[in-house]
Amino acid sequence: MRLEQPPVIVGAAAVAGPVEAQGPLGHEFDQTYPDLTIGQTSFEKAERQMMIDACNLALKRAGIEEKPPAVDYFLAGDLLNQLITASFSGLEVGVPMYGLYGACSTFSEALAIGAKLIDGGFADRVLCAVSSHNGAAERQYRYPTEYGSQKKPYAQHTVTGAGAVVLAAGGEGPRITYCTTGKVVDFGIADPFNQGAAMAPAAVDTIEAHLKDTGRSVDYYDLIVTGDLASFGYKMAVRLAAERNLTLGQNYRDCGVMVYDLSRQNVNAGGSGCASSAIVTCGHLLKEMARGRLRRLLVVSTGSLFSPTSFQQGESIPTIAHAVALEA
Amino acid sequence: MTIREGTSQPTQRSLYKQMVARSEPAPPKLRNAVMAFVSGGLVCTLGEGITDFWERVLRISHKQAADPTVVTLVFLASLLTGLGYFDKLARHAGAGLAVPVTGFANAMTASAMEFKREGLVFGIGGRMFQLAGAVIVYGVVTAFAVGIATGIARLVR
């Protein structure tokens, strides 16, 4: 969908946990924390603090100092049951809010919905935020954090961090020009440790739909990034795209691979989680756009929509990907 | 192989699953097996040492010393879990630490620690057996079945 009056990203911020801070993009994040609890009594509270910090930093960048902030809506999402991070942060932010769940695709989902609210004339300024936390996600989806187990090489490491974006009807900054809403795709992958392979078809589907819809080619973009396919999912996405006569080449990368140094850090195939695409985009890619090194960017956040209940009952993993085009 | 539009959904799904299965990076099985053999062996050697220790200190038989040995190993594994070392060791040792009683102790302690924040009753009490519960349930069921079978075998003889 093309936006008639493309909304502008007037402020963005990324905050990240200790492992991410040691990654190749560590110096790009606006704030990093030395440990997983960041001075809170639980991982859940730590995640909430990160989301609030990211929102405050993004609002400051956008020049919005008043409390509660002068934004019309707060759109937020995370991975925890019943969206507790988003909702408790909403209490702190104190503006009208919609909680969003698209698993790890929530970042581009929030951007797309925020952009449409503005383009439709329903809002002047929207604050979007997403977060994920390794410890909080591990205990909810997998095992207690101190449980000793060997992970498969294609398993992924949930990114600890939060990203926030302030969208406005006018101003200086990159614009959101196109949104492509993904369909739920399920190619039958049922292994919850292999989310990259499960999500790759959704990513390819959405990229294909986006190119068809806009009439653009892959080369139109300086960079296309998927959210959190990690190294194995990335490989599968490239191969699946090739099967469909779509060549994803040099200008295609994955945020889950970019956020860590896979050879040096103990993260298996790479990152996952809402924060993967959020902190790479807010922390690194938007800054690259400001530096003039990127002009046209397509962010395709990918989400696997399973729950511990659904996979324990033997169901495969439904997945989704949403694309937003950012242009300087 | 083509996973194009127009191909039916089930065909696309099965072709994709084949493609994924063929290219999935395999875990380093040989290395894992060797590490498990060595680390499991070390745990057992340590266990033997502890048994000898209790045998001498408490002046009990070798068989009787097995009980305090299990307690000691559980204590050590729980301590390492609490200090945050166990998961790092287990990443390399794998089955070598998971199969002996150390794995069981880790599963219990890690769950208890993790859910401490949900309170004493519903947190620690309710969730402590989240991972280890299956071991206990099926351990008891197996022991029961073996007990019945042995009983019948004795009656027949």
Please report the DSSP string for A194-205 in residue order: -HHHHHHHHHHH
Residue of B nearest to A232 (CA): B24
Give the residue among A114, A102, A157 at the shortest CA–CA distance from A12.
A114
Tokens linked to B131: 């991972």
Distance CA A137, CA A133 (A): 6
pLDDT in tens, A27-67: 999 999 999 999 999 999 999 999 999 999 999 999 999 98
A144 compared with A31, residue with greater pLDDT: A31
The three-class DSSP label of residue A1 is: coil
Give the residue among A69, A179, A68 at the shortest CA–CA distance from A118.
A179
Residue of A nearest to B28 (CA): A153
Same domain, A286 and A227: yes
User: Where in B8-94 does DSSP place strands (E)?
Assistant: none
Q: Are A226 and A321 in contact (CB under 8 A)?
A: yes
Task: Tell whether B14 is covered by a domain.
Answer: no
Task: Tell whether A240 is covered by a domain.
Answer: yes
Q: Which of A168, A196, A225 is the last residue of a domain?
A: A168
Identify the band that residue B145 occupies on the pLDDT scale cut at 50, 70 and 90: very high
Task: Tell whether A3 is covered by a domain.
Answer: no
3-state SS string for A215-274:
CCCHHHCCEEEECCCHHHHHHHHHHHHHHCCCCCCCCEEEHHHHCCCCCCCCCCCCEECH
Task: Tell whether A150 is covered by a domain.
Answer: yes
Q: What are phi and psi of A148, to 5 degrees?
A: -90, 120
pLDDT in tens, A271-326: 999 999 999 999 999 999 999 999 999 999 999 999 999 988 999 999 999 999 99
Q: What are phi and psi of B142, to 5 degrees?
A: -65, -45
Q: Which of A168, A195, A220 is the last residue of a domain?
A: A168
pLDDT given for residue B5 in this prediction = 59
DSSP code, position A39: T
CB contact under 8 A, A245 and B81: no
Task: Tell whether B27 is covered by a domain.
Answer: no
Task: Tell whether B123 is covered by a domain.
Answer: yes
Same domain, A152 and A187: no
Apex B66 CA angle, B63 and B71, nearest 5 = 160
The span from the first CA to the last CA of chain B, in angstroms, equals: 63
Shortest distance between the Cα of A97 and any Cα of chain B, in A, equals: 28
Distance CA B24, CA B17 (A): 10
pLDDT given for residue B67 in this prediction = 94
Contacts of B111 in chain A (CB under 8 A): 144, 147
Q: Which of residues 35-54 of B touch A (CB under 8 A)?
A: none
Cα-Cα-Cα-Cα dihedral sign, residues A20, A24, A29, A34: positive
Distance CA A58, CA A11 (A): 5
pLDDT in tens, A232-246: 999 999 999 999 889
Output the domain CATH number for residue A38: 3.40.47.40
Same domain, A181 and A216: yes
Tokens linked to A209: 């739909």
Q: Are A134 and A160 in contact (CB under 8 A)?
A: yes
Task: Tell whether A39 is covered by a domain.
Answer: yes
Cα-Cα-Cα-Cα dihedral sign, residues A35, A82, A194, A28: negative
Greatest pairwise CA separation for chain A in angstroms: 53
Task: Tell whether A1 is covered by a domain.
Answer: no
Shortest distance between the Cα of A186 and any Cα of chain B, in A, equals: 8
B4 touching chain A per CB within 8 A = yes
- In chain B, the number of structural domains is 1
CB contact under 8 A, B2 and A243: yes
pLDDT in tens, A104-119: 999 999 999 999 999 9
CB contact under 8 A, B113 and A149: no
Tokens linked to A231: 């190294």
Domain containing B147 equals 35-156
Suggest the residue from A147, A194, A234 to mutate for an interface test with chain B (most B CBs closer than 10 A): A147
What is the average pLDDT score of chain A? 95
Give the residue among B44, B43, B110, B41 at the shortest CA–CA distance from B80.
B110
List C-alpha distances in Å: B46 to B74, B76, B91, B98, B100.
12, 11, 20, 15, 12
Same domain, A147 and A57: yes
Q: Which of A121, A142, A168 is the last residue of a domain?
A: A168
Contacts of A147 in chain B (CB under 8 A): 87, 106-107, 110-111, 131
Is the ipTM beyond the 0.85 threshold?
no
Same domain, A197 and A119: no
Domain containing A263 equals 175-327
Task: Tell whether B104 is covered by a domain.
Answer: yes
Give the residue among B104, B100, B99 at the shortest CA–CA distance from B133.
B104
For B87, the closest of A41, A42, A148 (CB atoms) is: A148
Identify the band that residue B3 occupies on the pLDDT scale cut at 50, 70 and 90: low
What are the residues whose beta carbons fall under 8 Å from the beta carbon of A61, sequence distance 6 or more? Answer: A10, A11, A12, A13, A166
CB contact under 8 A, B1 and A239: no
Same domain, A28 and A137: yes
Distance CA B34, CA B47 (A): 20
Task: Tell whether B57 is covered by a domain.
Answer: yes
Contacts of A245 in chain B (CB under 8 A): 4
Does residue B35 carry a pLDDT above 70? Answer: yes
Q: Are A170 and A118 in contact (CB under 8 A)?
A: no
Give the residue among A228, A233, A210 at the shortest CA–CA distance from A158.
A228
Same domain, A58 and A183: no
pLDDT given for residue A180 in this prediction = 97
Task: Tell whether B10 is covered by a domain.
Answer: no
- Neighbouring CB atoms inside 10 A of B85's CB total 13
Identify the band that residue B4 occupies on the pLDDT scale cut at 50, 70 and 90: low
